């Protein structure tokens, strides 16, 4: 049985301890150990504080959870957006399979340029719709083949030329030229050197086949004043005349005359027979004349143009007229054109071409 | 006589000691299980902040004991303890498990909070140096004492809380409980006697 005095002494010591925690108490062995425990119990937290802090932390956790949920939702949306972007245009969004990183700036620049191009197309389309009457179709055709448009005989030299001969001491004798053909198999000759040819073909000159020259029984150089004896001329390379090649005349090539190449006459070349076609580098469209527009007049103008060795159009003439001021407009426009000149044997040469310009109203 | 175990602080704060020689196998296993459970709990709380309450309940007594021995008043102890747990919850995502128990991180936060608090009050109050405040084994003992109070009979526990936490007189407690002062003193005596015995038993 414990004496109640012990309870009182312990309580008194606790009172003193609570009043002055630093004070050293003299106590019996029986209560000294309990005072040590009592000293530590002073630092016990209150239940009320513990519970209050618990509740406070739960509220804080709930707030964090809400925020985290919101952030998580935003992250999910962002991830989905990234996935979607990557699936649509992986290169644009930098997640392509290439070993090199995609340059987004390039794609942005490309996007801007494409957008500008689309905007330009749309605005131009709208503009065209609003100016329908004012728009004309000025189709231009550069006719470079052997012309199907037969030009009237020129009073001056207008074609190619040719020549030939057997290196004789006298000029070729007079006679008529053979017919023109696209290709030459047998050059013309007054004096036949091989009377027993196994394969025979008619002598031809290279030129438009529809050019018809007066024909006589005897082949010869139509420009020669020599009537006899019958000679092929002083030239070389077969043919007739003083030139070189398979043609007739003083020129060079399989044509007729003093020029070079196929065709008739001299001066500028025509396209073909080793002469390349000129190519238009700068070809602004001609304007539509007011008169023709008001009359809704349409059609084609064919121009006869010599493109010189510098690529400049010379001697622009109307080969087929259309009228109502469109011929003048076409000529005025073509005079401003710039060509890459025709070439023969690697050298620029003047060449005659026909240009067809179509005037159309939408 | 049984071999005295290594100080409990080493088991808690230094994982390499858990596997060290001289630590009883039972203690090593218990520490390993505790570490694993605590790690899972921390990771769960990092994913779901509402799980932090469990960490709070596990570590409250230690943190409060650590703080309360380093401040003068109960109010300061409560404020700092609250600050420690609030900061811990706010920055729980930054915690990385490196084998050190979670309470180590909490005590570091508490230490920083105390340092900040000390800067504010150092000019006015003379506070005890850290090394004078006992070792981590003392911390464990203080934390354990709080749990031991919970094991007391209800009337004894009530007397202890009123007397030491609320620091009320025997007369006030007797009036509140409707008992005589002598009975309250006896309850106080019995409670302290029981606590002392249990502390000794746990310490041994």
Average the pLDDT over each of A23-37, A156-170, A173-187 and give the range with the smallest value: A156-170
Report the pLDDT value the prediction gives residue A331, as an integer from 0 to 100: 92
> Is the Cβ of B69 closer than 8 Å to some Cβ of chain A?
yes
The answer to whether the beta carbons of residues B21 and B6 sit under 8 Å apart is no
Q: Which residue has the tokens 């109203």?
A: A361
The arithmetic mean of pLDDT across residues B137-152, rounded, is 81
The arithmetic mean of pLDDT across residues A103-114, rounded, is 86
DSSP assigned state of B86: H
Contact B142 A40 (CB under 8 A): yes
Between chain A and chain B, the number of residue pairs with CB atoms below 8 A apart is: 118
- Distinct helix (H) and strand (E) counts, chain A: 6, 13
- pLDDT-based confidence at B97, cuts 50/70/90? confident
Return the structure tokens found at A160: 């190619």
- pLDDT-based confidence at A132, cuts 50/70/90? low
The answer to whether the beta carbons of residues A167 and A152 sit under 8 Å apart is no
pTM above 0.80, yes or no: no
Q: How many residues does chain B have?
A: 204
> Is the Cβ of B33 closer than 8 Å to some Cβ of chain A?
no
By CA distance, what is A38's nearest residue in B?
A: B192
Query: A110-142: b or e for each residue (b if 16 or more CB lie within 10 Å)?
Result: eeeeeeeeeeeeeeeeeeeeeeeeeebebebeb
Average pLDDT, chain A: 78
Long-range contacts of A179-183 (CB under 8 A, 24+ apart): A179/A204, A179/A205, A179/A209, A179/A212, A179/A213, A179/A215, A180/A204, A180/A205, A180/A206, A180/A207, A180/A208, A180/A209, A180/A210, A180/A211, A180/A213, A180/A256, A180/A264, A181/A205, A181/A206, A181/A207, A181/A209, A182/A146, A182/A206, A182/A209
> Is the Cβ of B95 closer than 8 Å to some Cβ of chain A?
no
Contact B89 A68 (CB under 8 A): no
The answer to whether the beta carbons of residues A351 and A260 sit under 8 Å apart is no
pLDDT tens per residue, range B71-94: 888 888 899 999 999 999 998 888
Helix (H) or strand (E) holding B185: helix B181-203
Helix (H) or strand (E) holding A279: strand A279-282
CA–CA separation, B204 vs B199, rounded Å? 8
Report the pLDDT value the prediction gives residue A152, as an integer from 0 to 100: 45
Report the pLDDT value the prediction gives residue A6, as an integer from 0 to 100: 82
CA–CA separation, A233 vs A172, rounded Å? 4
| Residue among B103, B97, B58 at smallest CA distance from B84 | B103
Query: What is the rounded (10 degree) CA torsion for B110, B114, B117, B119?
Result: -140
Give whole-number Cα distances, A4 to A315, A357, B182, in Å. 145, 135, 8
Which of A36, A53, A65 lies at the smallest CB-CB distance from B50?
Answer: A65
A139 pLDDT more than 70:
no
> Is the Cβ of A182 closer than 8 Å to some Cβ of chain B?
no
By CA distance, what is A15's nearest residue in B?
A: B169
- pLDDT-based confidence at A116, cuts 50/70/90? very high
CA–CA separation, B19 vs B123, rounded Å? 45
CA–CA separation, B89 vs B74, rounded Å? 23
Contact A45 B90 (CB under 8 A): no
Chain B residues near residue A6 by CB distance under 8 angstroms: 189
Which of B90, B182, B193 lies at the smallest CB-CB distance from A4?
Answer: B182
| Residue among B117, B53, B58, B57 at smallest CA distance from B83 | B117
Q: A352 - beta bridge partners?
A: A270, A306
> Is the Cβ of A13 closer than 8 Å to some Cβ of chain B?
no
A68 pLDDT more than 60:
yes
> Is the Cβ of A53 closer than 8 Å to some Cβ of chain B?
yes
> Is the Cβ of A2 closer than 8 Å to some Cβ of chain B?
yes
Percentage of residues in chain B having pLDDT higher than 70: 72
The arithmetic mean of pLDDT across residues B89-116, rounded, is 85
Average pLDDT, chain B: 76
Q: Which residue has the higher pLDDT, B140 or A139?
A: B140
Dihedral sign from CA coordinates of B96, A65, B49, B105: positive
Q: Which residue has the higher pLDDT, A264 or A252?
A: A252
The answer to whether the beta carbons of residues A91 and A108 sit under 8 Å apart is no
Report the pLDDT value the prediction gives residue A361, as an integer from 0 to 100: 76
């Amino acid at each position: 049985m414990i004496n109640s005095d012990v309870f009182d002494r312990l309580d008194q010591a606790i009172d003193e301890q609570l009043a002055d925690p630093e004070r050293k108490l003299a106590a019996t062995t029986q209560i000294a150990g309990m005072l040590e425990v009592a000293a530590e119990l002073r630092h016990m937290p209150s239940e009320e504080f513990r519970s209050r802090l618990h509740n406070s932390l739960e509220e804080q956790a709930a707030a964090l959870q809400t925020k985290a949920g919101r952030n998580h939702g935003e992250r999910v949306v962002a991830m989905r957006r990234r996935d979607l972007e990557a699936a649509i245009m992986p290169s644009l969004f930098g997640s392509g399979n290439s070993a090199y990183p995609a340059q987004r700036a390039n794609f942005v620049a490309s996007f801007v340029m494409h957008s500008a191009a689309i905007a330009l197309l749309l605005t131009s389309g709208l503009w065209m719709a609003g100016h329908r009457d004012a728009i004309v179709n000025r189709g231009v055709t550069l006719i470079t083949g052997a012309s199907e448009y037969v030009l009237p005989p020129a009073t001056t030299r207008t074609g190619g030329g040719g020549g030939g001969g057997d290196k004789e001491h006298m000029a070729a004798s007079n006679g008529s030229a053979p017919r023109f053909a696209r290709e030459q198999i047998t050059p013309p000759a007054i004096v036949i050197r091989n009377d027993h040819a196994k394969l025979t073909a008619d002598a031809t000159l290279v030129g438009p086949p529809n050019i018809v020259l007066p024909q006589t029984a005897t082949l010869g150089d139509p420009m020669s004043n020599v009537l006899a004896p019958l000679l092929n001329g002083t030239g070389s390379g077969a043919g007739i005349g003083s030139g070189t090649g398979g043609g007739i005349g003083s020129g060079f090539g399989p044509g007729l005359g003093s020029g070079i190449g196929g065709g008739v006459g001299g001066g500028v070349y025509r396209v073909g027979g080793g002469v390349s076609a000129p190519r238009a580098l700068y070809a602004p469209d001609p304007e539509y004349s007011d008169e023709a527009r008001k009359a809704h007049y349409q059609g084609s103008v064919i121009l006869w143009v010599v493109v010189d060795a510098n690529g400049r159009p010379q001697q622009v003439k109307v080969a087929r007229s259309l009228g109502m001021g469109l011929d003048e407009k076409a000529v005025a426009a073509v005079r401003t054109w710039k060509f890459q000149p025709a070439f023969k044997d690697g050298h620029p040469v003047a060449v005659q071409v026909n240009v067809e310009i179509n005037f159309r109203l939408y | 006589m049984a071999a005295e175990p290594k100080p409990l602080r080493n088991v808690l704060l230094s994982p390499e000691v858990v596997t060290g020689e001289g630590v009883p196998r039972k203690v090593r296993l218990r520490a390993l299980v505790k570490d694993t459970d605590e790690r899972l709990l921390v990771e769960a709380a990092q994913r779901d902040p509402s799980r932090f309450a469990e960490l709070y309940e596990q570590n409250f007594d230690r943190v409060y004991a650590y703080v309360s021995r380093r401040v003068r008043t109960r109010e300061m102890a409560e404020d700092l303890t609250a600050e420690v747990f609030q900061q811990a919850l706010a920055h729980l995502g930054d915690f990385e498990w490196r084998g050190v128990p979670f309470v180590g991180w909490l005590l570091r936060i508490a230490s920083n909070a105390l340092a900040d608090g000390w800067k504010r009050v150092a000019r006015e109050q003379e506070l005890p140096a850290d090394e004078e405040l006992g070792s981590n084994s003392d911390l464990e003992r203080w934390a354990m004492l709080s749990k031991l109070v919970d094991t007391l009979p209800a009337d004894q526990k009530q007397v202890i809380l009123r007397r030491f936490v609320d620091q009320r007189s025997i007369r006030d407690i007797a009036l509140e409980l409707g008992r005589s002062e002598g009975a309250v003193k006896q309850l106080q005596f019995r409670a302290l006697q029981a606590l002392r015995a249990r502390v000794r038993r746990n310490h041994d």
